[in-house]
Structure 1
Amino acid sequence: EVIFMKKTLSAILAVLLAALLCACGSKTVENTSSPEPTATAEATATPSPTATPTAEPTPEATPTIPQLQLGDTIDLDFLKMTIDNISIEDEIYPFDTSGAYLYISDVDGSQYVCLCGVITNLSSSDLDSRYFMSKVTINDEYSYNAELCIGSNPNAITDYALEPLGSAHYYLYASVPDTAVNIMEKGTISLAFNDGFARSDGNYSYTYTIDFTK
C-alpha cells in the first residue's frame, strides 16, 4: 500500500512536471520593440518655368513725307529749289518775256495748276527733269500728271536740262479739267526724284508734298 502511494505520488509529480514544461515551452515571446517608421517620399512638385511672353513685332512706321509751304526751299547736296508761287492759269509764260519767247497756250475745257520758283544745279552733271515725277491731286481724289519745265531757254516751250552750277526759273504744271478746278476745295502737289534726277525704277529717294487752295 505504501508502495502504491509512492507510485501514485510519483505519477502525479511526473504529470505536473510535464504540464509545467509544456506551459514553459508554449510561452509566446512578444516583440515589444517599436516598428521603424516607413519613410514616405513626398513628391516635390518642380515649378514649371514661367513662359516668357513673345513680344509681338512692332510694325514699321510709315515714313512721313515732308510737307512744304510757299517760301520754303528744297536744299540738297546737288540741288536747291525754291517754292515761290502756286497759281491756276489759262496759259503759261516763261519768266523772261523781254524778247522772243514761246508759251503754253490755253486749251478749251482745262486750266493749268502751276508751281513756280528757282532751281539751281549744284552737281557736276546736267539735271534732266524728264525723270522728275510730279502730280497734282484735287480733293484727295482726282490726280493729274505734272511736268517740270526748266526755263533756261525762253525760246523753247519745254526745256528739260540744267547745266552744272546753272540756275534758272522753273515752272511745274498739270493740265486739269475745268470741272475739277470748279469743285476744288483742296489741292496737293507731289514731288519725287532721285539724286541728280536719275532715272527711277519706281522708287524715289526724295518725296515732298505742297497743299494749296484756289
Structure 2
Amino acid sequence: MASQPTEIPKTFYDFTVKDAKGNDADLSVYKGKVLLVINVASKCGLTNSNYTELNELYQKYKDQGLEILAFPCNQFGAQEPGSNEEIEDFVCTRFKSEFPIFDKIEVNGDNTAPVYKFLKAGKWGFFGDDIQWNFTKFLVDKDGKVSDRYYPTTPPLSIEVKTLMSALWNFDYAMLPLLLIVVDHRFIGRFVKFANLLTLYDFCSVT
C-alpha cells in the first residue's frame, strides 16, 4: 500500500508509493513533468481502448515531459484480480506499455491510498469525491497540482486536444485570439508596406 509523508503533502510529488515489485517509489522523480494518473484494470470493458490510446499518447509526448502512472485497483467489479506480477505481465505483453505500473491499491473507502486522497481532494462538482469506475483519469501539472479530472469513458487521446498541450507547454489558450490579432496585425502591416511600395513603383513608372 502507498505510504504518506510525515508532513502534510502539498503536491503530488511529496508522496512515496510502492511499485509493482513492492519497492518504495518516490514520486519526486517526476518533478517538472506533466502526469496522467489512472486507476487501471485488466478485465474491464474499457481496458483495450484505454491502454491502446494511453500507449499512443505516451509515445507521442514522453520526450516532451509527459508521464503516465497506472495504479491497478480491484474495487470495481473485481476486474483487476491478478497479482502485481500478473498485471505487469499482462500490460507489457499484450499492450507493450512502457509507462510504470504501480502496486495495487484502493482508491475509495477506509483504505484509500493517501496519494488518491490527495487526487480526490479537489472540488469536482458532479464527480463527487469517490472514483466512479476503472480508468478515471487525473491530470497533474508540472507543479504537482491536480489540474483536471476525467470520466472513465473519456478517451485518453481526447485529453491532448487542449488541456494536455496547455499543461505541457504552459500555453494559455485564452490568449489565442490575442495572438491571432497580433499575427494578423503584423501581416496587415507588412501587406500595407508592400502595397505602398507597389503604388510608388507604379507612380514612378508612369512619370
In the superposition, the TM-score normalised over structure 2's length comes to 0.24
> 1 or 2 for the larger relative contact order (CA 8 Å, sep ≥6)?
2
Instruction: From the CA coordinates, give the structure whose radius of gyration is larger.
Output: 1
Q: Of Structure 1 and Structure 2, which has the larger fraction of its residues in helix?
A: 2
In the superposition, the TM-score normalised over structure 1's length comes to 0.24
